[in-house]
Every structure is written in C-alpha cells, then in structure tokens.
Amino acid sequence: MTEGKPIGANFESWIDQQIAEATERGEFDNLPGAGKALPPGGEDEDWWFRDYMEREQVSADAALPLPLLLRKEAEDIDETVRDLPTEEKVRAAVADLNRRIQESWRLPAQPGLFVRKVDPEPVVALWHATRPIPAPPEPTPPAAALPWWRRLFKIPDV
C-alpha cells in the first residue's frame, strides 16, 4: 500500500494504478463470494440490514430505540411474569422494568417516544388469576378411625 497520492498526480489515474498493481499481485484472487451474483436489492433499500439480521440471527428488536423496546417489554410483561414462582418475584420484575423506564426518561429521545411506568397491581392480579389452583392436602384420618393398637402404640400407616 502506498503512503499517499503523489503530488500532482490525477486522483482517478492514481486509483486505477493502485487497482492494477493489486490485480497483478493477485490480491483480488479467491475472494469470498467471487463469481456469485449480488443479492437482489430491488426497491427495498434496507435489504442489506435484513440480510445481516437473518445471517447473524439477531432479533429485529435490537434495532429499536430504547423507548420502543421498553414499550414492547411493558406490553409483554404479563407473559414475562407468568412462570415466576412468587408474588415478590413478580413485583420485583415490574419494579425492575419501571426502574429502566425511569432511567430512559433521562436520555435524549425522539419526540413522541415516551414510555409510562407499569402499574404492578394489575400485573399481580392477572398473575394470581392465571396461577393453577393448588390441590388441597389429603385429609388425615381421624384418630378414632385407627385400630386401638395403632392409637395406643402410635404406629404409622405404611
């Protein structure tokens, strides 16, 4: 690689000279994708971005601005907390989301991109409503139903 364009040289001719020298050295031989057609772009100007997202297996949510990402997370909070085991963990998940929403208010954002905090009470109420009803414990037989020798010697049922 040269240090720079020589003084007084035409820019186009200097670039053409650099390409010709690189071709002679074989720097363009066996490049990945050589001989393959370019992917169709068509009218979609973001084809390269969609291709990159698909190739790297990245969700399109990663490209959203933070307020929209938080808004989407707030809409999906019921599904997020559905499998949590306790009410305290549900409240902690909502509090974490509200903390991140409040932090996003301090960042500059596009006009109209505002996210409201999530009220934890409806989320907790829905979580309680979707919880499976626990089976009642099996009743223990009353003491009078046991034979006298088990009552006397307190022998457990096997």
Comparing 31-45, 64-78, 95-109, the range with the smallest average pLDDT is 31-45
> Residue 97 sits in which domain range?
61-130
User: Could you tell me what percent of the chain has a pLDDT over 90?
Assistant: 29
Per the domain annotation, does 18 fall within a domain? Answer: no
Over residues 34-41, the mean pLDDT reads 73
Range 107-110 contact pairs with CB under 8 angstroms and sequence separation of 24 or more: 107/66, 109/65, 109/66, 109/67, 110/65, 110/67
Q: Give a yes or no: residue 50 inside a domain.
A: no
113 inside domain: yes
**Residue among 34, 111, 7, 16 at smallest CA distance from 67:** 111
Does the pLDDT at position 39 exceed 90? Answer: no
| 89-123 pLDDT tens trace | 999 999 999 999 999 888 887 777 788 999 999 99
Structure pTM? 0.55
Domain presence at residue 32: no
Q: Which two tokens stand for residue 46?
A: 């973001």
Residue 5 domain flag: no
Split into its structural domains, the chain has a count of: 1
pLDDT digit string, tens, across residues 45-64: 778 888 888 888 888 887 88
The reported pLDDT for the residue numbered 75 is 94
Task: Please check whether residue 43 lies inside any domain of the structure.
Answer: no
pLDDT at 135: 74
Q: Hey, how many other C-beta atoms are within 10 angstroms of the C-beta on 29?
A: 8
pLDDT, tens digit, 9 for 90 and up, residues 123-151:
999 999 988 777 777 777 665 667 777 77
Structural domain includes residue 65: yes
Domain-embedded: residue 155: no
Residue listed under structure tokens 């305290």: 88
